[in-house]
Structure 1
């Protein structure tokens, strides 16, 4: 009789809603055992209760900018066995304007959550994943969530665009660093996905994609080890076109683009 396949073990930050919750649902449906990180205990509890094999999953209630708590959560999940996929999904978005002094703290919070917490999420797993590969475990994956907003700077969203551009570049650097160790680094760059984050946008969002569809396609890209994947694919075409635009043309086109509301007074 053939041995039963080994269940994947997957660690996801920002798991209480939006992309993180959709990824958790999709992985759980595949039989994965999850470690789920978020700040909101009630939402995490509701999510886990709705998942198949709910008693097998672990929840960690913390803010990803608390690096000591994040490391402790990672170590606890690692103690339960090899980890196959780590998704640094936690992220926030607010409109920001450099001219407003009150926005400096918002810039800092966005960069700390979107970029620095990605580094802090991955760091505790690298040595363990290296050992896993040496022991014959299939290649594990570290997954960073970038954004199409990181391809070019969006007016009124300087902090968010900068943080996501940095995530894309950081994951590229890490991918090359870890190439010889058998650890894959995957960057997923979402366009507009229907989540609580985009619910507040008052402007038209082209190619808006349901979160569950995003999760299925993202998991497929992670499984094959894609280095970089834009979802939906139509936004990948748009992103390439934007990247190729001369600065003068881009500036003129986006000078009056709709902007996300500021959160600071």
Structure 2
């Protein structure tokens, strides 16, 4: 029998100032979770929490730059001190900016992308792994992308970083096997967020953030280890993975590329 005096479960979510992060926060809140919301834009997150009537007993806001290891680690430690060990940690913060390897400045874009999309995921999980394992329960959720499955022209930094999220989460899942802590890898297709609204190409099976959040929540609480959302994009991506390189290159010839620096959007 559950203890009626035990606190509600806690979800720690990065990139919570817009898009998928806010939609996930709302979805977890509807299921009775307390929230720890993390992003650089603390005023936006606090306004979001206030608009939903979430007081400090339901939701706390932590400012952090996920690309800065000590910044996000400190946010996690602050959450542990103020709210306890989360039941779910969602490493959602990410950036999507096009790059051209011929351009020197774009190497800096790539480094920032990896710092946020890759090292930032590990740094988000770091404060909680030992405590979750000691408790014997919890879920660590890495938000990758269907773009992880095949490299797209002009998307080198993004595709590579999201492929790395998939590989990292798979490694971590093996490391935590038997601990009671699950690792969930989610690969969104196209979701209507600030990250995608300036894309210059077709976005099939586009989902609203709320629809994505509903499906992601079901996957997380259902103990799924890997899921592409929506499943149709998973089928398309797998078919593209099976194409011989020459056919794949021909299929993408002339496809519009993602905006480079200045046109990218961040959910960090």
What TM-score, normalized to structure 2?
0.93
Structure 2 residue runs without a partner (length 5+): 264-268
Structure 1 position 244, deviation (Å): 1.2
**Any conservation in 2 of the 1:102–1:264 contact (CA below 8 Å)?**
no
**Any conservation in 1 of the 2:201–2:255 contact (CA below 8 Å)?**
no
Structure 1 residue runs without a partner (length 5+): 134-138
| Cα distance in 2, alignment partners of residues 59 and 203 from structure 1 | 35
Residue 167 of structure 2 is aligned to residue 169 of structure 1:
yes
Residue 139 of structure 2 is aligned to residue 127 of structure 1:
no
| Cα distance in 2, alignment partners of residues 106 and 69 from structure 1 | 20
| Cα distance in 2, alignment partners of residues 100 and 120 from structure 1 | 29
Aligned counterpart for 1:146 among listed residues 144, 147, 168: 144
Secondary structure in structure 2 of the residue aligned to 1:22: helix
| Cα distance in 1, alignment partners of residues 191 and 70 from structure 2 | 31
**Any conservation in 1 of the 2:85–2:128 contact (CA below 8 Å)?**
no
Q: Deviations over 1:143-189 (max 9, x none)?
A: 00000111000100100000000000100111111112111000000
Counterpart of 1:29 in structure 2 is 30
Counterpart of 1:253 in structure 2 is 251
**Any conservation in 2 of the 1:11–1:87 contact (CA below 8 Å)?**
yes
How well do the aligned residues superpose, as a CA RMSD in angstroms? 1.6
Structure 1 position 129, deviation (Å): 0.2
Structure 1 position 94, deviation (Å): 0.6
Secondary structure in structure 1 of the residue aligned to 2:12: strand
Counterpart of 1:136 in structure 2 is none
What TM-score, normalized to structure 1?
0.94
- Count of residue correspondences: 260
| Cα distance in 2, alignment partners of residues 2 and 174 from structure 1 | 30
Counterpart of 2:101 in structure 1 is 98
Structure 1 residue runs of 4 or more that deviate by more than 3 Å after TM superposition: 1-6
Distance 1:126 1:3, change over 3 A: closer
| Cα distance in 2, alignment partners of residues 51 and 172 from structure 1 | 35
